[in-house]
């Protein structure tokens, strides 16, 4: 395998992908089922795999033997202390496969290298005012080279693909973005996925950025324990996602969970979309209007020192709007929970979730069952991690609703 770099020259020659690294290799339903169950439970002996799947012990042994040979599963320390032979659990081999995630945001971009077990191996964060397509392609080209530089040739041969998480209409909401019109419109008609595909030989996947963040929470966060939930993500523009029956639901046009477009009432008593008052873009405007430094939102991801009273006022207003929107979502979906995450410091996320919980008391929810507001677990990395999970979903993971039936 090789990589086509932007210059047109070829990179290092990588070993051919193993049988287990491509969609063709893991095409058998039972192989994907075993891999997905091991991911869900962490470690499983073959006897437990057979019990959960209903497959015969012999069939499970054959599958596990092949997956172990492919480098996708590895043996753990035998479990002793029971009658008979000690049980040998298996877990995912982190070096069995790798994937790359790209998050394209309106104020920052991220690249992430993730292994099969979901461990983040390396990340690159780049803040900017607003990117042009040319600048983004340059960032991806140089960034990917940096990401894979620490991998061995064999590991590079196990890169299963790249996922892209980006807004569907990066040029939209021009008034809120504040970027030069020519830069915004350069994105209209620009096919980022196709351009990146010309530079690499891996499969390139694309997903809405908020849906990708929701996928990360489903696969790696507290969503693993929920069969369905609605998800709000606080980014430059607020977004969301929907999980039904243990699977990310994208809708007919891939736009399910477009929670930014939900109607709420503005401070002036007029109808407006949630995106206008609840996104970090509105907090950025408030800080700037009050003489502060709005760049701290993208530069100081750990603390947001200096946000001051602007943050307090935005948090109160935004929390009530999210509580209103969440009630509307629950009226339609009646799901297990609302999860809130975002590209915000951990203490801000905790305050926001608590404020939404308190704001629910002021929302008319007659006819609705009570529902929990839960704090997400991934934070600023959610969109890049979700993007990196797309090749893993495509190659190694089976529909989650099957797993819930067997886990119950």
Give the chain's count of helices (H) and strands (E): 16, 15
How far is the C-alpha of 82 from the C-alpha of 234, rounded, in Å?
49
Give the model's pLDDT for residue 87.
86
Give the model's pLDDT for residue 84.
62
CB atoms inside a 10 Å sphere around CB 326: 25
Please state, in angstroms and as integers, the Cα–Cα distance from residue 48 to each residue in 51, 76, 122, following that order. 5, 14, 34
How far is the C-alpha of 142 from the C-alpha of 135, rounded, in Å?
11
User: Which residue's structure tokens are 């070096």?
Assistant: 95
The DSSP 8-state label assigned to residue 390 in this structure reads H
**120 with 113: CB under 8 angstroms?**
yes
How far is the C-alpha of 143 from the C-alpha of 131, rounded, in Å?
15
How many residues are recorded in the chain? 408
Phi/psi at 238 (nearest 5 deg)?
Answer: -65, 145
User: Which residue's structure tokens are 């523009």?
Assistant: 237
Please state, in angstroms and as integers, the Cα–Cα distance from residue 65 to each residue in 52, 60, 73, 80, 266, following that order. 18, 8, 9, 22, 60
Q: Can you give the C-alpha Rg of the chain in angstroms? A: 22
Tokens of 181: 């019109």
Question: Could you state, in chain order, the average pLDDT of each consecutive group of 10 residues for the chain (408 residues)?
Answer: 27 38 54 91 94 92 94 90 77 96 90 95 88 91 95 95 87 58 79 94 92 91 91 93 88 84 84 90 90 83 81 94 96 96 94 96 94 95 94 79 41
Tokens of 253: 């046009």
How far is the C-alpha of 42 from the C-alpha of 290, rounded, in Å?
49
In 3D space, the residue among 201, 98, 202 whose CA is nearest the CA of residue 147 turns out to be 98
CB atoms inside a 10 Å sphere around CB 358: 14
End-to-end CA distance of the chain: 41
- Give the neighbor-by-neighbor strand order of the sheet with 89-92: 44-45, 89-92, 73-75
> In Å, how far from its chain's centre is CA 218?
8
The DSSP 8-state label assigned to residue 20 in this structure reads G
Stated as kind and residue range, the H or E segment containing 112 is strand 108-115
Give the model's pLDDT for residue 11.
32
Q: Between β-strands 271-273 and 247-249, what pairing exists: parallel, antiparallel or unpaired?
A: unpaired
Helix axes 400-407 and 29-41, enclosed angle (nearest 10) = 60
Please state, in angstroms and as integers, the Cα–Cα distance from residue 398 to each residue in 222, 366, 403, following that order. 18, 38, 8
> In Å, how far from its chain's centre is CA 165?
8
């Amino acid at each position: 395998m090789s990589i086509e770099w932007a210059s047109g020259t070829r990179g290092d020659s990588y070993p051919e992908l193993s049988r287990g690294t491509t969609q063709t290799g893991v095409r058998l339903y039972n192989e994907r089922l075993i891999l997905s169950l091991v991911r869900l439970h962490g470690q499983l002996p073959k006897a437990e795999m057979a019990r959960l799947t209903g497959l015969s012990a012999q069939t499970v042994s054959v599958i596990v033997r092949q997956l172990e040979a492919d480098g996708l599963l590895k043996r753990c320390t035998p479990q002793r202390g029971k009658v008979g032979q000690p049980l040998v659990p298996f877990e995912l081999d982190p070096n069995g496969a790798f994937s790359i995630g790209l998050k394209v945001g309106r104020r920052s971009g991220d690249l992430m290298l993730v292994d099969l077990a979901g461990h983040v191996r390396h990340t690159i964060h780049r803040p900017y005012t607003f990117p042009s397509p040319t600048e983004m392609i340059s960032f991806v080209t140089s960034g990917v080279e940096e990401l894979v530089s620490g991998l061995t040739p064999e590991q590079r041969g196990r890169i299963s693909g790249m996922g892209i998480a980006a807004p569907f209409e990066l040029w939209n909401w021009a008034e809120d973005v504040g970027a030069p019109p020519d830069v915004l419109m350069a994105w209209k008609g620009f096919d980022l996925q196709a351009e990146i595909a010309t530079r690499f030989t891996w499969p390139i996947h694309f997903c809405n950025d908020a849906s990708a963040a929701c996928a990360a929470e489903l696969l790696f966060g507290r969503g693993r324990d929920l069969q369905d939930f609605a998800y709000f993500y606080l980014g430059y523009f607020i977004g969301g996602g929907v999980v039904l029956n243990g699977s990310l639901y994208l809708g007919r046009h891939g736009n399910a969970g477009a929670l930014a477009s939900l109607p709420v009432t503005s401070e002036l008593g007029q109808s407006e979309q949630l995106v206008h008052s609840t996104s970090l873009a509105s907090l950025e405007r408030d800080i700037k209007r009050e003489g502060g430094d709005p760049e701290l939102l993208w530069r100081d991801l750990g603390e947001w020192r200096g946000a001051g009273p602007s943050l307090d006022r935005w948090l109160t207003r935004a929390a009530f709007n999210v509580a209103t929107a969440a009630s509307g979502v629950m009226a339609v979906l009646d799901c297990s929970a609302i999860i809130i995450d975002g590209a915000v410091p951990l203490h801000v996320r905790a305050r926001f979730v608590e404020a939404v919980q308190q704001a629910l008391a002021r929302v008319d929810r007659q006819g609705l069952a009570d529902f929990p507001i839960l704090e997400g677990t991934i934070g600023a990395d959610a969109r890049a991690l979700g993007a990196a999970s797309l090749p893993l979903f495509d190659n190694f993971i089976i529909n989650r609703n099957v797993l819930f039936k067997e886990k119950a």
